[in-house]
Structures are given as C-alpha cells and as structure tokens.
A and B are shown apart, each in its own frame.
Chain A
Amino acid sequence: MYNKILCVDDDPITLMLCKKVIEKSDFSKQIDTAHNGEDAIKYFDNLKNNLEKDKNIILPQLMFLDLNMPIMGGWEFLDIFSENKYHDFFPELKVIVLSSTIDPRDIEKSKSYSMVIDFLSKPITKEMLYSFSNNTQ
C-alpha cells in the first residue's frame, strides 16, 4: 500500500472514480489530485518548497497521469519534469499513464520516459490495481 499518490486528470468524474477505486482497493493511504500538467507542476513546486523546510513530509510515490488535458497535457508535463531535474527531488516517483487514447504511437512514446512504468487504458479498475501491486511486490 502506497502512502501517497497523485492523480492528474482534467475530468472531475475521472478523478472521483480514481479516488473511489483506489480507496476501495486500499491502494494508497492518501490521494492528491491535480487538474492538468501545470497544476501538477505547481503541486511539485510547492512540495519542493515544503521539502526544504521539513524533510520528513510524505512524498507521492506514484502518479496517474492523463495525456489529453487543457493548459498543459501529460507529455508536456513529462518533458518539463524531466528537463528541470524534478527527479532529483522526487527520485522515488513513478508514473503510470492512464489515458483513453488509442494511438499506438502514444504507447511507444511513453516508453521513452524512464519514470513511466506503465501505460493503462481507462477506466481504472480494482483488478488493474491488484495486478499492479502484485507485480511490483
């Protein structure tokens, strides 16, 4: 069971669904959300600041990331995140792309980011989370 995960999606219903499924399957103790890539960057900036003050704060270990979002999409987020060395601050963070895209090129593209560990099709289900935690353990 994770301590904290972050869900990034522009669709509030998807976010609600994520929260509920994660809660029901006891996947994580805490669930944070962001509405798009920019929102997520702000979230990490904020965390960075807090980290300087208190090194013991709980960091998200896993992140569900949608690809198609307004303002800043999933790809742009991944680019900024890796270019600006956010990874140095959050070395533990892994990303699962959770999208309804069907473009095979997207799946290929996701493999080029080292922190992306999986590409899942919506909707998120309990079975998905079970098999994921079984695989990682």
Chain B
Amino acid sequence: MKSFFYKSIVIYFLIVLILALLSHYYIINFITANNQLSYSLFFCILLIICSPIVLITIIKLNNKKNNDSITNLKRINKELYESNERYDIVAKATSDTIWDWDIKTGGFIWNKGIQGIFGYKKEDVRENLQWWFEKIHPEDSLKMSVKLYSFIEQKTEKWQDYYRFMCADGTYKYVFDRGFLVMDDDRNVVRMIGAIQDITKQKEEEQRLKLLETVITQTKDTVIITEISDIEKELPKIVFVNPAFTKMTGFKSNEVIGKNANILMNKFSVRNDIKKLAEVLKKKEEFTFEALNKRKNNEQYWVNLTMIPITNKDNQHSHWISIQRDISVEKEREKEREHLISELTQNNKDLKQFSYITSHNLRAPLSNLTGLLNLVEDIPIENQELKEIISGFSKSTHQLNETINDLVNVIIIKDSPSIQKEGIVIKDVFENVFNQLSFLIGLKKPIIKMDLNKAQIVFLNKSYIESILLNLMSNSLRYCDPNKQLKISIASKKNGTETIITFKDNGIGIDLERNKDKVFGLYQRFHDYPDSKGLGLYLVKSQVESMGGTISIDSKVGVGTTFTITFKNNKDV
C-alpha cells in the first residue's frame, strides 16, 4: 500500500516535471520572445489542468487495485472460514480427534475431539509432544514411538498405528491413529498432522466375536451352518462346520462346505426321519430330534440334533444352525439301565413271590404243629418224662411260630407302601402295650414316667405304632440293669410339623461305638438273652419308616438307652 503511495507520488512528480520541462523547452526554442510570457502562462495553465487529471487517474487506478485486493481478501477469508467449518464438521462426523504437531518447535495442537471423546478439559490438555506420549498405554508406547520416528526418518507419506490412549478418567480407549507429514520446499519435515479414531467398540466387538468363535470351534458339540437357497425346493447349502463335526462324522470341512445339505443327509442315513425332517424344516421353527446316523467309515452312531432357524436383518429366514451331539454312549447306557431295571424288577418280584411261598410252606406245617399241641394240652399225661418232652416240644414250636410271624410281618411291611392311617391317642396305645406286657411289668416293677400332654394324638397306623411301642417297651423291660431300679420315661412333643416321641430307660444299654450300623439291622443281637431274636428293632425301624417317620438311638453301656421317633404331623405323608 505504502509503496504504491510513494510510487504514485514519484510518477506524478515525474509526469509534472516532464510536462514542465517540455513546455519550457518548447517556449525557448519555438516561441518568439514577445510571445514567451503568454505561452508560459498558457503552459502553466495547461500544467495546472493536467496535474489533477493525472492525479485523479492515479487515484482511480489505485482505488481499483485496492478494491480488487479487498474482494480477493474477502473471498479468501470466506474460503478459509468454510474450509475450517468443513474441517470441524468432518472431524465431528468421523468422531476423529485431530492433532497438529509442529516438529520444529515441538508444539502440539488438539482439536475439540480430545475433550469430547477422551473427556479432557481444555485446561488439562498440554500442547506439547510429551503429553501425547504420556497418555499412550505403557505397553503400546514403545512400539508406537519406534514406528513413528522411523516413519518421520524415512519421510514416507502416510503413517498409521493402533494403540491404547488414556481417557481423563484413567481408562483406556483403543484408537486407530493416521497421520501424514508436511514438508517445506527443501523436503524438510516441518509438521505432522494426524487423526485419532476411537475403535474401542470395534475392538471389543472383535474380541467378543473371537471369543464366540472359540466357543464354536472348541465346543465338543458339532455345529453346522447352512444357508437357505433362493431356489425353491433346493436344500440349504452348508457354509460352515466346526472341528467337532469332523471328529464326529469323519468328514473334513472342505468335503462338505458348499455342498447341498442333502448329500450329508443321505450319508447320515436319517432316511427314516427325512419326511419328518422336511416337514419341520418347512415350518422354520426350532426343533430337536434324535437319529441314527452313519460316519464316513459307515459306523453307526446316535445323534441328538437341534435345528435353529436364523433370520437376517430384514427378518427373513436365511440360515439354519444345527447343533449335534453324539449320544451313542448315553443311548447305550440308557439301554443298559433299562435292561438292569427290568431285570431287578423281575428279580424283586420273584423274591417277593419266593418269600410268600416260603413263608406259606413254613407256616402250613407249623400251624399243624401248633394245632396238634393245642390238642395235646387237653389230654392228661401220666408219664412225667413224656410230659417234659412235650413241654419242650411245645416251647420250641411256639418260638418258631413267633419268629416266623415276625418275619411275615416284615414282609408285609416291606410290601405295603401305602398303609391306612388314623388319628391315634398315644396314651391309649401305651395302655394296650402295658396290658400285653403285664406279666413282665409285674416282674420288673419299673417306675414309668409319662409326659404325653404336649402331643396327645398322632396320625399313624394303629397296629404299627402299637407294635413299635410294644417292642421298645419289652426291650426296656428285658434288658434292664439287674442292680438298678428300672426307670422308663416316655414323652411326646410337637416340633413344627413334626411329632417327636422319646423313649428313655436306664437299662444296660448298647455299645454304639461297636454296633452303630447294626442296631437296626436284621438278626442283630447285642445281648446273650435266651428269648432275644434280634428282630425287634429291625421291625421297629421298618414300621417307623413305612409310616414316613425316622428313628434314632442314643445309648451308653451301663447308663441306658434313648430312642427318638419323629413323625410328620401331616396327614398326607
């Protein structure tokens, strides 16, 4: 501007000067002396007239030039603004964080992305190279910086790298950073400009997919994916099989991929199911079935097959996923188990029959013996020896009869899972028991303490509970300590949904350390008493359990024995 001003002045001065000199020369050489003055005035006036014309022309020229440059400037400004705006919009649209690194000065400028994407406040961001490197994950920074500097060194045009960049909250985001170099005319690197893209989501998705993929490749289940064909009536094409497929069928993936699924099916020999299969395939619903298939080596195997229809984005059925499992072993086991169960059931049936017959065949002659002995009782016998013999014969017969009756009871209990129950007053049962044991009670004279007020009625089978209490009572009476006054305490109480009956004596007790597992066993005798058969507690336990109850024993040798019987109050049990 200024130069133009001086230039204009000089041009004006020169033009005016030249005009003055020319007019002077003209006057001196061509004008006579007497006219010189008037010519001089004429030229003066001419000069004066010329001067503003020149000046105006110059100013006009200048104005035009100025106008041009302003328009130009405005245009440039506008372009610059638009470009800036574009840049901002692009950065926003791509969610890229742009950085500008002045390599010579080390200055480093970030765009707004550093705030928006990574959460930094404006004042947190230091505009130097070091800050950038500080925020790169320590595991990535070395590799990344080596790559970056070798890139600058080689002056290749484009650079890109993946690394983790720290956010304001200390977490890391996976980023993809792309940059290019800006060089001066001498090919010296002056700046580098880059764009950081947040790819955390893609990276996570990638890892998730990788994980999902390992499920498919590592699973023991066979996975087959087939693609629905556009052509009607054509069966789906196999697009994927996992390694388990090869293991199960013997077919390598390249032997089946791209092929029609029916090739597989024929080889799979699911011909029996093929009609059913075609029907359900048409329905496009998930379904499961079992089939007997063949491997590549023609070996047969049972497979459990689940077909799952997959839809695409437009909700159109596009693929089938088939998950298959070799269940030959399970099938075999199932067969074995069924066989075993039927065998056991038969055995059990036979044994039951056997026990009924045996007991019948034992009872028949025994009842004859008993009947005959009953007859003998009425006949007076003179011979003393014969009398003794008959008496021994009679005792043995009765003993045998009792044992067989007990065994018969056991058989009946074991065979009748549903027995009739009724509300029973415990006290009445005890009265009955005392009546039956009146002889023994008279002999041993026990002190009996009864506390049956807390739970007076139980819902049980009458003959069973009578038999249980009779057995326990007669045990207490039989196995009392001869050196002590026999004390028996009986109590009942309610505990939630249960009724508990305790039966305690101070008799000789049982050594539970030695006999823990045998106490309630069949034919277990713990004392050498003449009338002990070792059946009572077995019977008691069987009867308690057949009514849905439990029985436990606590006993110490020389101290006494306590039985605890627990029944459910519930009528239905």
Contact = CB atoms under 8 A, between A and B. Distances in A.
A13 interface: yes
Interface in B386-417: 408, 411-412, 415-416
Interface string A49-65: 00000000000000000
Given A24-B375, A123-B371, A126-B374, 14 more contacts: A14-B364, A14-B368, A17-B375, A21-B374, A68-B364, A100-B364, A102-B356, A102-B360, A102-B363, A102-B411, A104-B415, A122-B371, A123-B367, A123-B368
A79 interface: no
Given A17-B368, A104-B416, A124-B371, A24 B378 contact: yes
Contacts of A17: 368, 371-372, 375
A114 B365 CA distance: 29
Contacts of A13: 365, 368, 372
Contacts of B378: 24
24 contacts: A11-B368, A13-B365, A13-B372, A14-B367, A14-B368, A14-B371, A24-B375, A68-B364, A101-B356, A101-B360, A102-B356, A102-B359, A102-B408, A102-B411, A102-B412, A104-B412, A122-B363, A122-B364, A123-B368, A123-B371, A123-B374, A124-B371, A125-B374, A126-B374
The 4 closest A-B pairs by CB, nearest first: A123-B371, A122-B367, A100-B363, A123-B367
A105 to B, nearest CB: 9
B83 interface: no
Interface string A78-103: 00000000000000000000001111
B370 interface: yes
**What band does the interface of chain B fall in when counting residues whose beta carbon is under 8 Å from A?**
20 to 34
Contacts of B370: 123
Contacts of B356: 101-103
Nearest to B378: A24
Contacts of A102: 356, 359-360, 363, 408, 411-412
Interface in A112-137: 121-126
A20 B375 contact: yes
Interface in B136-180: none
Give the size range of A's interface with the partner. Answer: 10 to 19
Interface in B235-279: none
Chain A CB count within 10 A is highest, among B356, B360, B363, B367, for B367
A22 B430 CA distance: 37
A21 B368 CA distance: 12
Contacts of B368: 11, 13-14, 17, 122-123
A13 B367 CA distance: 10
Nearest to B357: A68
B503 to A, nearest CB: 28
A17 B376 CA distance: 11
A101 B214 CA distance: 69
Contact of A125 (B364, B365, B371): B371
B397 to A, nearest CB: 11
Nearest to B409: A102
Contact of B364 (A11, A21, A103, A126): A11
Contacts of A104: 412, 415-416
Contact of A21 (B359, B360, B371, B408): B371
B476 to A, nearest CB: 29
Contacts of B365: 11, 13
Contacts of B366: 100
Nearest to B373: A123
Contact of A100 (B367, B412, B415): B367
Contacts of A20: 375
Interface string B342-383: 000000000000001001100111111011101100100000
Contacts of B416: 104
Contacts of A121: 367
A14 B369 CA distance: 9
Nearest to A18: B371
A122 B404 CA distance: 13
Contacts of B372: 13, 17
A36 B356 CA distance: 21
Given A14-B368, A102-B408, A102-B412, A68 B375 contact: no
A20 to B, nearest CB: 6
A60 B416 CA distance: 37
Contacts of A122: 363-364, 367-368, 371
Nearest to B366: A100
Interface string B66-78: 0000000000000
A123 B376 CA distance: 14
A46 to B, nearest CB: 28
Interface string A1-41: 00000000001011001001100100000000000000000
A128 B365 CA distance: 19
A126 B415 CA distance: 32
B542 to A, nearest CB: 15
Contacts of A24: 375, 378
Nearest to B401: A123
Contacts of B408: 102
A10 to B, nearest CB: 9
B263 to A, nearest CB: 61
Contacts of B415: 104
Nearest to B415: A104
Contacts of B364: 11, 14, 68, 100, 122
Most A C-beta atoms less than 10 A away, residue of B359, B370, B371, B378: B371
Contacts of B371: 14, 17, 21, 122-125
B31 to A, nearest CB: 170
A121 B405 CA distance: 11
Contacts of B359: 102
A126 B366 CA distance: 17
A24 B408 CA distance: 30
A64 to B, nearest CB: 13
Contacts of A68: 360, 364
A48 to B, nearest CB: 31
Nearest to A122: B367
Contacts of B367: 14, 100, 121-123
A126 B370 CA distance: 12
Q: Among B359, B363, B364, B416, which residue has the most Cβ atoms of chain A within 10 A?
A: B364
A43 B147 CA distance: 120
A103 B363 CA distance: 12
